[in-house]
Amino acid sequence: YPPHISEKDGHLYIGEHDTNVLAEKYGTPLYVTDEQRIRDNYQSYYDALKGYYDKVQVLYAAKANGNLAVMKIFASLGAGADIFSAGELHLALAAGMNPDYLLYNGSSKTTEDLSLALEKKIRVSLDSVDELRQLSAIAQDAGVTAEVSFRVNPAMEVPTHPKIATGLATSKFGIHAGEIVSAYQAAMDAENILPVGIHCHIGSQILEVAPFAKEAEVLISVASEITDIGVKLRFMDVGGGLGIPYHHDTDPVPTPAEYADAVMPVFLDGINSIGIKPEFWVEPGRFLMADSTVLLTRVNSVKQSHKKFVNVDAGFNLLARPAMYDSYHEVVVANKTGPDYADDAKRDVMTVTGPICETGDILAHDRLLPAVESGDLIAVLDTGAYGFSMSSQYNSRPRCAEVMVNGSQEGLMRRRESIIDIKQTMKDLPWQK
Ligand code: LLP
């Protein structure tokens, strides 16, 4: 376990809190997040980079968990945010983040998105020359100058799930190396546009540091070419951060220090030889959030079929990752931990399944767990990144609550939805009255 997760008297704890007590008090399913863990994850990432370079800025990837309480923690730590929608922009500003450290990313923005960015003085990471043309027109109308970066497509294969490898030559993101200089030239020539940055993101849940060093090489070579045509670079943004060891016992555990040792020398040598001193930006989401959070889910029933199924009250409506990416999350029976349940005679191989009407609604396959009965509590670990944020109301299920713990304190950071929340956006059709 990471340090904020522990076992006491047969129960699983997060920080100082018994998960069983929290589940009783707030109901299940329930996401529970530890504030101190977020702060510690942030500090380790920031300190490792800062050890190499004084102009480092973290932009938290708001998509990992966009709860305002989470955004406020990052704001208090001095982070900005990678934002991918008007909603994320709104939340980042509401949390008090500095607009100077927000970057409006995305490959498919509306003209309203671009106008909003200009109005709020947020820099835009452009994904196409078409988008550049549109932003230039909007900036001219508004009589302001838009500061921009381009997203570079580094044409890199990376060791992760294909759906979240975002810098492949064939992926939808960014502008290829062969066209990037002409894109920056177009930005230099465009009215009311000032190119000030380079942006890239190679993919998520990467457990090796070498691909990030390779990415830095690509960005340095672009930086050199565009400096030659007169671009004055204020930042180089390398995109998302390290992955995390979802398999606690077998995954490699790359540290922020190893990341920094691999990436920062490439960056520093590069900028020194070009003769520039841009800020170094990084946009971690998963590393900062994933292990801060557990999803607590109650066992509704147990069934011995061709295998043993444990039917719980959370499914891919609340945690999409296993169904969507075949992701692995550790699960713990939160009311049956410790030596009393350790011996194999008291354990069984079980498959934990949700309440959704699809065969693929499986949170965990074939796990050896203490024999479970209805009413037991299961904790799904490492669910702080892309957990709640990817939830849905499929099968007309209200989304669950989110709780934050901080030392001895605990509180709701999002209430549970009800059927009223589901129904209230629906309208009576005039011909059905
Ligand atoms: N920056 C950009 C432009 C991104 O698209 C992403 C993630 C990040 C930063 C943050 O990457 P991280 O540090 O979290 O690896 N839903 C998937 C992950 C999708 C990530 C998409 N982009 C999952 O549950 O694994």
For 417, residues 6+ apart whose C-beta sits below 8 A from its C-beta are 393, 398, 399, 400
Which two tokens mark 256? 């922020």
Which two tokens mark 257? 């220090």
CA distances from 353 to 22, 100, 120, 293, 327 (A): 22, 44, 44, 20, 14
> One of 143, 170, 305, 357 is an active-site residue; which one?
357
Which two tokens mark 74? 């990052």
Residue recorded with tokens 């892309």: 386
Q: Give this complex's ipTM.
A: 0.99
Ligand 1 site-directed mutation target among 101, 283, 288, most atoms within 8 Å of CB: 283
Per DSSP, what are the bridge partners of residue 403?
A: 32, 412
**CB atoms near residue 158 (< 10 Å):** 23
* Cα 52 to Cα 198: distance, rounded to the nearest angstrom: 20
Name the nearest CA neighbour of 12 among 262, 261, 378, 305. 378
Name the nearest CA neighbour of 36 among 363, 429, 424, 408. 408
* Cα 277 to Cα 194: distance, rounded to the nearest angstrom: 18
Residue 357 is among the residues annotated as catalytic for this protein? yes
Contact 385, 365 (CB under 8 A): no
State whether residue 281 is helix, strand or coil: strand
Q: What average pLDDT values come out for the chain (433 residues) when binned by 10 residues?
A: 96 98 98 98 98 98 98 98 98 98 97 98 98 98 98 90 86 93 98 98 96 97 98 98 98 97 98 98 98 98 97 98 98 96 91 97 97 97 98 98 98 98 96 90
pTM: 0.97
User: Residue whose CA is closest, atom 5 of ligand 1?
Assistant: 201
Residue recorded with tokens 């901080």: 406
Say yes or no: CB of residue 29 within 6 Å of ligand 1.
no
CA of 203 to the centre of ligand 1 (A): 7
**Has 358 been labeled as part of a binding site?**
yes
